[in-house]
Amino acid sequence: MKFERLAVIGCGLMGGSFALALKQAGLVTHVAGFSASESTRQKALDLGVIDAACGSAAQAVDGADLVLLAVPVGATEEALRSIAPHLANNALLMDVGSTKSDVVAAARAALGERLPCFVPAHPIAGKEKAGVEHAEAALYQACITILTPLPENTLSQISKAQQIWEAVGSHVHTMSAQQHDTTFAAVSHLPHLLAFAYMQGLAAQHDGAQHVSFAGPGFRDFSRIAASDPAIWRDILLSNRAEVLTQVAHFKQALSAFESALHDKDTAALNRMVTLASDLRSRWHPRSKRAAP
């Protein structure tokens, strides 16, 4: 498996890392990149992440046999519309979006007869630092990548997609877009929302900045994801809003139970709830490490 021309639409952390990883794996000859910002395109070129900086998404996609869309999910439909007429019939098109139902709907609306080219993908990787300057070939090593194939995809396309993600070190799982969105609302989108709300709640306090200056390692890890890229996360939360709001409701119910126990000085109830939470978290191990050889 080798691709002549990879087009990366959105040369940020995710797109840039994909380009570097495919180069390192020897899977691609030439990488054409497009980003809306000219300075980002130039930076990606200067860093050797892409081989050619294109003036439009259409130009990047022309002649590409592999296309990766790596833009904030809110920009998906517009980006797909702009590349659809230029997409080769046999090209493989993937995205890296953190939500899937919305992305699939955008693809159905935008891609027309090129819909079968598109195998939706979500690599569970990232850092709180965005931008092509943080891109690295190892970003997808030992991470999970979820594929949510369309009924229109051919088995050969799906298998090609799987092989690519495995070639960059990722463990591939397949599920429906709906199941993906429910799962990641629970284990990713809600934690981000809670971390954002936590920081917002601190910022609203007169002494918030003073408090934060004494924070230790618990705060550091708990709030790390609050430093994530705002545009990316605004889009993810909006894109998966129904599932996210369902998860918020589950969380608020649990929080109320803790509040009541504190109000009532109910040591037994508090003990039970903290123990259950601690046990569940202690038993958790990342799937990617479990699955690793």
Question: Does the protein bind a copy of itself through residue 174 (CB under 8 A)?
Answer: no
Find the binder of a copy of itself among 24, 59, 141, 288 (CB under 8 A). 288
Question: Does the protein bind a copy of itself through residue 109 (CB under 8 A)?
Answer: no
Dihedrals phi, psi of 52, to nearest 5 degrees = -145, 130
* DSSP symbols for 119-165: E-EEE----S--SGGG--TTTTTT-EEEE---TTS-HHHHHHHHHHH
Among the residue ranges 19-27, 61-69, 156-164, 208-216, the one whose residues contact a copy of itself (CB under 8 A): 208-216
What is the length of the chain?
293
Question: Does the protein bind a copy of itself through residue 215 (CB under 8 A)?
Answer: yes
Q: Report which of 3, 64, 73 is spatially closest to residue 34, judged by C-alpha positions.
A: 64
Residue 29 near residue 5 (C-beta atoms within 8 A): yes
Question: Does the protein bind a copy of itself through residue 223 (CB under 8 A)?
Answer: yes
Question: Does the protein bind a copy of itself through residue 188 (CB under 8 A)?
Answer: yes
Q: Which is nearer to a copy of itself, 30 or 173 (CB)?
A: 173
The number of residues that bind a copy of itself (CB under 8 A) is 91
Among the residue ranges 36-44, 79-87, 89-97, 219-227, the one whose residues contact a copy of itself (CB under 8 A): 219-227
Tokens representing residue 196 in the block = 């954002």
- Minimum distance from residue 191 beta carbon to a copy of itself (Å): 4
Residue 193 near residue 248 (C-beta atoms within 8 A): yes
Task: Report how far apart, in Å, the C-alpha atoms of 156 and of each of 40, 55, 76, 130, 220 are.
Answer: 34, 32, 24, 33, 44
Q: Which is nearer to a copy of itself, 109 or 215 (CB)?
A: 215
3-state secondary structure 94-107: EECCCCCHHHHHHH
Question: Does the protein bind a copy of itself through residue 218 (CB under 8 A)?
Answer: yes
Give the torsion sign (CA, 261, 266, 269, 270): positive
Q: Which is nearer to a copy of itself, 52 or 186 (CB)?
A: 186
Among the residue ranges 40-48, 51-59, 77-85, 196-204, the one whose residues contact a copy of itself (CB under 8 A): 196-204
- Minimum distance from residue 43 beta carbon to a copy of itself (Å): 20
Among the residue ranges 9-17, 49-57, 132-140, 194-202, the one whose residues contact a copy of itself (CB under 8 A): 194-202
Sites for a copy of itself among residues 120-159 (CB under 8 A): 124-126, 128, 143-144, 146
Q: Report which of 190, 226, 243, 234 is spatially closest to residue 73, judged by C-alpha positions.
A: 234
Question: Does the protein bind a copy of itself through residue 206 (CB under 8 A)?
Answer: no
- Minimum distance from residue 107 beta carbon to a copy of itself (Å): 21
Residue 135 near residue 47 (C-beta atoms within 8 A): yes
3-state secondary structure 225-255: HHHCCHHHHHHHHHHCHHHHHHHHHHHHHHH
Q: Which is nearer to a copy of itself, 54 or 132 (CB)?
A: 132
Q: Where does residue 280 rank: exposed (0-12), middle (13-18), buried (19+ CB within 10 A)?
A: exposed
Q: Report which of 173, 172, 127, 174 is spatially closest to residue 149, judged by C-alpha positions.
A: 174
Find the binder of a copy of itself among 11, 139, 168, 195 (CB under 8 A). 195
Sites for a copy of itself among residues 244-263 (CB under 8 A): 244-245, 247-248, 250-255, 257-259, 262-263
Question: Does the protein bind a copy of itself through residue 265 (CB under 8 A)?
Answer: yes
